[in-house]
Amino acid sequence: MSEQTERMQSMYHLQHDPFGALVDAMVFSGAGGRYETAETIRHLLTYSHQDSLVLGQAGTGKRMLAQQVLKMLEEHWRVAWIDGSETDSLVDLLREIVGQLGLGLRLDADADELLQRIIEITAARTHNDESFLIVIQFADRLPVDILAKLKLLRGTGEALESRVRQLWLCNSLDDFVAPLDEDDWYVHPLERFNDTAAEQYIKDRLIGAGNVSGVPIGVKDIHRLNQMAGGLPDRLNELARDYLISTTFKTGEKGRSFPFTHVMAGLAAVVLVVIAYVYNESVGEREVVTIVPVAVQPMSAVEKKLAEAVASVEAKQQNLVAKEEPVALLETPAALADTTILAPVAPEAPQAAKIVELPKAVVPSAEPQSVKVPVSVTKVAAAPAKARLLTNGAPEAFTQQLIGVRDRTMLEQLLPQFAASESVDIVESVHKGKAWFILIHGQFDTKEAALQATAGLPAIFKDQTPWIRTFKSIRTEAVR
């Protein structure tokens, strides 16, 4: 990690680089309709005969979207991830699929025989409640003959329910020699971020890195950064990181901040002057050498605005630090290091325990994400349980999983928000060898009914999409 990145994290109290690979693995932002697209793909893979193709320019987030889909799939799915840019042999591709899916087939057969055996064994194991998925990254770079063989994995008409499912990621449909059959493939185009989506995306990334005190980049500056990035999340990451790093560099005279690129340009000019002087001294030249300074390029209008915005942000931060009274917070224990907040929590009244507000786009997933959250010292005792929802729920009925955390008291503070105490329950399980607590709500006959009922949740869960699960699946994880 660079010294500039460390300074940025320290200045904004971040646990991680908000735009680095670690946060990539933890955070999926629903900005720009990404979560709805992921849910659609999951639904198609589970219930539809159509396979899916995600289409978008490099940097639009196709890989992140596919990884989110995998997190949303149930545990019985076996997945193979293939890089099409590194695949030019059909036999090698099929062997890779056999290995990643754990099919246990002999690998000395020719391509056609191996392909047929894959179709047969996956069909047989599907009847034993297993499902199989192949994700092809850079699918548009695969040779035509390999693409044709992959389509054969869909199986025959009689075996549609037991075929290997596929999710292809590609930059352009123009590179496919043969057009895809619309009856067999559903295309999901990923659009560039508009300015509103960029705001939500930046906020989600910062929350994932540990920042819960507000976005340190002004709305207008986020819009400018998004325009410079062309609406591409990958490019926006780079520009937003450089923006935050630039705020850690100040001039000694005015205390203003300058973009990192201008700081480096100034240092480079000084170094060139010093090198020229040393060189002339070392060769013993007697002539007077005149060094003509290079004209410094003036900052563009956008860069000037960024510099002014940075200075304004720092001035506000300094004023807040000077005026802010100390607030007693419970020091986050090691057990909370990977606490996952799967829904936002709204602040209580000033005299009540403070609960930090999280972004609306933080979406529940099967895999917890590491987010350290300050917790109020005040603890609210849980209401006495009259009849446990987990005990009374029918095994095949559905419930809403709202939040998963390490600290039970965080959930106990939320219980008074529900009108009927018997409709909500805290379930203890174990994750990564440590106690893990989840908040569940309601009992429903179908998934659709459970999703529709989200509109009646307390205001703190407004606009969220809970994880809909059966009571049977939750009981298998619960600590009895």
pLDDT at 267: 53
DSSP 320-362: HHHHPPP--EEPPPGGGTT-B--S------TTSPP-----TT-
pLDDT at 452: 87
For the stretch 184-220, pLDDT in tens is 889 999 999 999 999 999 988 888 888 767 788 889 9
| Exposure letters 250-281 (e unless 16+ CB within 10 A, then b) | eeeeeeebbbbebbeeeeeeeeeeeeeeeeee
CA dihedral of 61, 62, 64, 65, whole degrees rounded to 10 = 110
For the stretch 66-78, pLDDT in tens is 999 999 999 889 9
For the stretch 396-452, pLDDT in tens is 999 999 888 888 888 888 888 888 888 999 999 887 678 888 999 999 999 889 888
Starting at the edge strand found earlier in the chain, the sheet holding 131-137 runs 77-83, 131-137, 165-170, 51-55, 185-189
Structure tokens at 86: 């590194």
pLDDT at 314 over 60: no
Query: What does the H/E/C string look like for 6-62?
Result: HHHHHHCCCCCCCCCHHHHHHCCCCHHHHHHHHHHHHHHHHHCCCEEEEECCCCCCH
pTM, two decimals, is 0.52
Q: Tell me the angle at which helices 111-126 and 90-101 cross, rounded to the nearest 10 degrees.
A: 20
Stretch (H or E) spanning 226: helix 219-229
What's the rounded Cα separation, in Å, for the pair 264 and 8?
17
